[in-house]
Amino acid sequence: MMQIIKTFLLSLLFISPYFGNAQSSLFQQGSKEYILLDRLEIKMQTDSNLNFSAFKPYNRQWWAAALEAASVNKGALRLSKIDLYNIDRSKLNNLEWTSRGQSLVQSKRPLWNTFYKDPANFVAVNQKDFFLSINPVLQLQGMSDNNSSQVHYLNSRGVAVRSLIGNRIGFQAYVTENLERPPVFAQNQFDRYRAVPGAGLYKRYRETGYDHMDARGSIYIKPTKFLDIQMGHDKIFLGNGYRSLFISDQSASHAYLNFNLRAWKFNYMSRVMELQPQYTRRGLGDDTLLWKKYATIHYLSFNAPKWLTIGLFEGVVYGRQNRFEVNYLNPVIFLRAAELNVGSPDNSFIGFDFKANVAKRVQVYGQVMLDEFYTKFIRDRNGWWGNKWAFQGGMKYIDAFGVENLDLQLEANWIRPFTYSHFDTVANYTHYNQALAHPLQSNVKEYIAIAKFQPAPKWYMQLKGIYWKNGEDVNGENYGNTIFRDSDSRPMQEGFFFFTPKMKTNFNLNYWMAFEPMENLFLEASFTARQSGGEGLNYFGSVGLRLNMQRREYDY
């Protein structure tokens, strides 16, 4: 079935140049531009482009329009000098939309008069009917961990390419090869779940290291003014917070077909995904065949009044190995009805989210996700296992206490036991041995505080604290803490409350500082203090450089 979908989209690809419009590539999670995006969304308050920013990676064409609107209204928005600097630099990183067909912004010192002719791109061609950007990708980190005498490291090398052709087709590709020896606690997590967060298949490297490749690519077409179609292999994040309870980008990339319809005050997204069930590696060169499973998600958001955006989410994971369910191809919302039509064997979810921009200083946001929910058992307060839900509430406060470019964020995430799990372990909400939504899985209450500060144009600082409590299984019994387990293996029907049967308290405190000597090149250092349960204090630090790549974090 996925082959049919791919053939269908390729047919559209060849037809669409005759009736299409330009389509935009996306800028990935972890980009420095998301700091500016959060600030402009709150300051502008009613911008129709930015208010649909819950879907990430974000659309470059929409972003360029928001940058232009901010530049025109900079006085009324009371933008700081650093905001104006960041807007100018962001325009350099989106030349296909901010200077279409114009001469490139010239670097003061291009390399051999060939490379870095503009400050943001190693190689760039910007003509009326053709844009091409090619950039190296690099992240080198050295780390020290008080629980290990070894040197820990991250060594990532690769390339990022994006293009817009003939005002009709857009595409992008991102490939990195990664060698990683993470902190000891992360090694234990990798080995426990047989997965490297954010990566797919991996190999062990020198006993305590991990070798994995990250290959992403997408192609974009626009058959009509209102409809975007994308196909590729990538990851997404759906939400306004630091975490997402719907779907996040902390798991491996997946193959997908994505439709996005934007009209009037509505934005509607329908996505079909090919996922990977959990598996067991039997040994190097002796892996089992990796079967496939599938999922469909829909997300409808409505921006009215303009300062308030509300969204409806639904998703279903098909619990039948290597067989696609045709009923879920319908892009119209109400997957639950389709699931009932096939006998209700699958893992379905519904959700609601909102964000409100207030007084051009504050954004309040939240998510509610329902896996299963019966009001009768809620009223009984007996801890019935099937009351599976998750809640998020958060707030962003920019230019906090009158300090320019000091931004604060507070967030809480509560996830009930057994949420995201299923009686069919193929249909749990996971991909490549990793949770598709929250990395802490379920039976957890998490609290996050983040302070971001940009004291000067090229300097970045962040202090992030995460405190969480989670339940722990005892005696091998399933109390709903690990979403990979069969939910029917629970020892009882009732008595499942938060942290049942044993509570574990954890915190992770991280300070990060970076200097950007040239565009998208960061010299950075970080320090983390972490404690989990009754274990001793673990601390580790890192120094390194990063070019055109998202920062690797260990915050779970």
In the chain, domain spans: 2-547
Q: Which of 88-92, 168-172, 405-409 has the highest mean pLDDT?
A: 405-409
Length of the chain: 556
Residue 113: per-residue pLDDT: 73
Output the pTM of the full model. Answer: 0.92
Beta-bridged to residue 349, according to DSSP, are 315
The rounded mean pLDDT for the chain is: 88
Range 277-294 average pLDDT: 65
| Cα separation values, 74 from 66, 67, 70, 490, 512, Å | 12, 10, 6, 58, 30
Nearest to 271 by CA among 29, 436, 38: 436
Residues sharing a CB contact under 8 Å with residue 179, sequence separation 6 or more, in sequence order: 153, 154, 155, 156, 205, 209, 210, 211
* CA 180 – CA 365 distance, rounded (Å): 35
> Of all residues in the chain, what percent carry a pLDDT higher than 90?
69
Residue 11 has pLDDT above 50, yes or no: no
Residue 103: per-residue pLDDT: 54
User: What does the block give as tokens for 175?
Assistant: 């490939």
When mean pLDDT is compared across 113-117, 145-149, 442-446, the lowest value belongs to 113-117
**Residue 400: CB atoms within 10 Å:** 18
Residues 296-342 have pLDDT tens digits of 999 999 998 999 999 999 999 887 666 677 777 777 766 665 555 55
Residue 186 has pLDDT above 90, yes or no: yes
Query: In this structure, what are the phi and psi dihedrals at residue 530, rounded to the nearest 5 degrees?
Result: -140, 145
* CA 324 – CA 342 distance, rounded (Å): 12
Task: Return the higher-pLDDT residue of 290 and 306.
Answer: 306
Range 171-199 average pLDDT: 95
Residue 3: per-residue pLDDT: 46
* CA 270 – CA 236 distance, rounded (Å): 13
Residue 13: per-residue pLDDT: 44
Residue 2 has pLDDT above 50, yes or no: no
At 287, the pLDDT band (50, 70, 90 cuts) reads low
Q: Which CATH architecture has domain 2-547?
A: Beta Barrel (2.40)
Residues 477-502 have pLDDT tens digits of 999 999 999 988 898 888 899 998 89
3-state SS string over 54-69?
CEECEEHHHHHHHHHH
Q: Which helix (H) or strand (E) holds 153?
A: strand 152-165
Q: Which helix (H) or strand (E) holds 336?
A: helix 335-341
Residue 214, amino acid: D
Helix crossing, 33-44 with 60-72: angle to 10°?
A: 50
